[in-house]
Structure formats: structure tokens, C-alpha cells
Structure 1
Amino acid sequence: MTADRDRAAFIAAMGINRELNDLIRTVKFESLHVLTRPELYRFGIDTRPLPETAWTLEKEARPYIRKIAMAKQNDGASFRMMEWRLFCENNDRARLMFVREFAESSAGKSTVVIRAGADRSVAFGRFPARVGKYEVWSDAVAPDIVKAMLAVQHLQVGENTPTLDGNAGVASFDIGTTGLEPAWTQLLASCPAPTTVPKPAGPLPTGALPSVSAAPAQ
């Protein structure tokens, strides 16, 4: 059919694997097939090994900032979902949560560190909580680390996993901070005040979390 030939020619011209055309031919017109991340990679539509979202504010009952990424695995055919959630517990304390799909090979063994520069890091322990098919780390974030996170373009995520020979297997990758600064500005505005005795008016205390000025309207 002419339509089949035109579609195949278009897919080839776009540099996309012809397997996509084979898949299209198996989907009935009244059905819907949403391409998975492995399919997008395999067909050559999106070959990024670590596609990621910007940091966005989630306006839930307890607001938080979210970022999601999909990491290509060593088997070359699968991706592992990861998510970061930044909460503002009060004006003196933030909390960072790291969530990812569970993997038997590293369960309960890995140490995860997130760095904003060489000397500013959030270190998670080796005992994440298990929630369904996910493992969840959570740790408090000091005010100076939040400030450092807002000041850099990338955060480095590092993981140490013991190998069978007793050594440590080290893996690291970068994630962007796009959207983090404006989202933090909005989140900070809804932060509860610390439950401490009020202090006299004066300069911002050294330990307070940094406030970020919103960009001027265009």
C-alpha cells in the first residue's frame, strides 16, 4: 500500500530503526500503543542514556520539589527509574529523598552520595526503606548544602557498591539543576516556621535556609 511505503520511507529518512514500522503494522487503528523508554532508545528516537526532567514544584498537601530520571542499564535494553524529592521541613531544615527501582544486585549494600561541588554533599546510608518495587533513601539537608545546590548547574550522584572480590564498585553520573532555583523559591514561601522561641528582630540567622529572589517578570 502507498501509505505503508510512505511511512516506511519517512521513518528511514528520519534515521529511525525500521523496527518501529514493523511495530506500527501490528497495532490496530482502534488501539493505542505508547512507546516505552527502551523502545524509544532501541528505535533511535531518543538515544539519551539518562533522560531527565527539570525540577518542578508539586503542590500537594505537603508541597515538594520533584525530579525524575531514567538511567540506561548495562544490559543495554532496560532503564531504571530514579526520583528526587526535596522537602522544606521548616525555615531551618530541608530533607532530600532519593527513590529508585529496586535491584537485587545492590539491595541494602550501596552507599549513595549527592554532591553539589567537591565539599558539599548529602550522604545516604546503606539501609534504604523498601516500598513495593522501590527503595527509598532520606536524609536532612544542611542550609549550606541547599545554597550550594542552587548555585551549580549540575549535581553529581555517586554510588559505592561492594563487589564479589571485596572491593568497592564506584559509579557516578550528573543530573541538572534546571528549575530548582525557582521551585525552591516557591516552596520556601510555604515553609512552616521553626518551633522555637521567637528571636529578636535582626539579620537572618546563619543557620537559616537560603531564600532565592524570583526572576523579574518579562
Structure 2
Amino acid sequence: MDDALRLQKRGLRILRRVYGDEHHQVANTLNNVGGVLHLKGQLERAMAKFEEAHAMYVGLYGEDHETVAMVLGHRANVLNDQGKFAEALAMHEKALAIRRRTLGSDHDDIASSLLNLGSGYDNLGMAEEALSRFEEGLGIMRRIHPEKTVMEGRFLDGIGSVCLEQGRLEEALSWYQEAHRMYRKTLGPDCAEARAMSDKAAAVLRMQSKVEDT
């Protein structure tokens, strides 16, 4: 990862010399550097790169552009990792609004925003808001990818988690089991995601047993 960061930074210096500070390749490289810094856990430095890329994209394309929504999502992910959950949600909502205007209703990137929002609202204990985002995203994935995808499994998992938090054990179990089947189908029977769903389903079954014993 250090080598990747060095290469990205070297490329950024070259691009700045060639194109100046208002060019899409410079903005793209800033975004890439921010991504590597984020993976390394250097959140403040990552945010600075994402913010610079964001300003450059807005200058190049205006506010309503998919690349602007993309980098807003990256900034939101950093905010989430910094524990600034409300700020992260607001930024994810802004990214989603741009994507709805520029991409239409059914698109993978819209589903990605909805997954981030569902997880964010769930983390804040806002179950109904989370469920709404997860259900909308699941509907999108089923319409545009009838062949089934890993992303669909993530929405199924999210809905199951909300149901569990609301005490709806039968529904939670059903969603987890469906997610388990989805992961086995898309990633293979021994994938970590399928094992995680098995563990969650088993935990729900234990909870049901305790309820029945009381």
C-alpha cells in the first residue's frame, strides 16, 4: 500500500505540472490518493484530498455530476469512520440526491448510496429510516440484476438486522437465511459472508428458543 501511495503521489505531481490544478486527471488522482490514505487509516489526510478533489470536480462539472456524488460518498465514509455519523448521513443524502437527478431511478450507484444510508441510520438507531433505504435498494438490485448479486445479499442482511432490532425474530431469521443463500450462490459455500449469515441465523434461533422457554 505504501508503494501504491508513492506512485499515486508521484503521478499527482507530474499531472499538476502538466495540467495545472483544474483538470479532471488531477482530480481523479487526488481522489485515488484519498482512497489509499483512507485505507491506511489516515483519515484527516484522506479527507483533505477528497475535499480538494471535490472542489475541483465542482469547478469542472458543476454540482450535479456523478463524479461529484462519488467523492461526496468518499467524504461521507471518512466522516463515518471518524464517528461523525450525522454529518456522514447528510453527505450521503446529498450524494444520493445528485445521483437521482443524474442517473435516474434504477442504477447501481443509487443502490450503493442507499446501502450506505441504511447502514448509517441503523447505526444511529433510526430503524424505520434504515429499513426504508434498505428496502428501496433491494428493489433496485432485484430489478436491474435479476441474476442475483453480492449487493443484494447486503441489503437482505441489513433488513434482517433491522427486524432483529425491532424484535421481529421470525422475519429476521427469514432475511438472514435468504442472505445466506444469496452469498452461497454468488461467492461460494465457504465464503465469510455466508458463514456470518449462518452465525446470525443461529443467534436468532437461540433467541427464539429462549423466548419459547419463558
Task: Provide the TM-score with structure 2 as the length reference.
Answer: 0.29
Q: TM (normalized to structure 1)?
A: 0.29
The structure having more radius of gyration, on CA atoms, is 1
Structure with more contact order per residue of length (Cα contacts < 8 Å, sep ≥ 6): 1
Larger relative strand fraction? 1
